[in-house]
A and B are shown apart, each in its own frame.
Chain A
Amino acid sequence: AQTVTQSQPEMSVQEAETVTLSCTYDTSENNYYLFWYKQPPSRQMILVIRQEAYKQQNATENRFSVNFQKAAKSFSLKISDSQLGDTAMYFCAFMKHVRTGNQFYFGTGTSLTVIP
């Protein structure tokens, strides 16, 4: 079974500072994808960044980057130059291919507050 663990229920960061959100996962799969999704208050969940497990290079997307450690099964998200609009719940997700399609597993989320 796949599990995704986010050990930080809440975090805060000063505007313009950098913050890192942690995620670990457990799987016996070798090929899979990892995602970070952002869910602002009362708004839909949107993709922040994704990482293919077969790629060693860490994904980056503007101010967002990941530290993917496959052997340690760790997938942390770094947000640089934090902005007020980054305030949201952040979910780490694991995806694997199955015969009938894709299966996604989500962590319990980290609530991030950016303080002005």
Chain B
Amino acid sequence: DTGVSQNPRHKITKRGQNVTFRCDPISEHNRLYWYRQTLGQGPEFLTYFQNEAQLEKSRLLSDRFSAERPKGSFSTLEIQRTEQGDSAMYLCASSPDRSSGNTIYFGEGSWLTVV
């Protein structure tokens, strides 16, 4: 098991363009989370999936953001019409249904720079 995998690791895009990030969770982890982290801040919750169902969405997730997990395995996070304020690291995390201690496991993150 290679852990939570995210790609691309870095993305530079022009304002107004669309970007998509992919997350492959640890195999057999039913729960998948997306977080956003800016410099000097801790991760902020964006959304959460249990299998293919998106069960929670933060108010941070504007209508330009959409996340999917179509088959309950990998997930994508798409940002449409990017703005400079979207520049951040987007972290994916996963956990099994009954994780010992309810720990979540993070990927290395996808850095987005909007210019």
Contacts and interface: CB of A to CB of B under 8 A. Distances in A.
Nearest to A45: B106
Nearest to A93: B42
Interface residues of B, number: 25
Interface stretch (B19-27, B65-73, B97-105): B97-105
Interface in B1-54: 3-4, 31, 33, 40-45, 48, 50
A33 B102 contact: yes
A116 interface: no
A106 B42 contact: yes
Contact of A4 (B33, B42, B101): B42
A106 B106 CA distance: 13
Interface residues of A, number: 27
A100 B48 contact: yes
B50 A100 contact: yes
Interface in B61-115: 91, 95, 101-109
Given A43-B108, A45-B106, A101 B50 contact: yes
Nearest to A47: B103
A103 interface: yes
Nearest to B55: A100
Given A4-B42, A44-B109, A91-B43, A104 B55 contact: no
Interface of A: 4, 9, 33, 35, 37, 43-47, 50, 52, 91, 93, 95, 97-98, 100-109
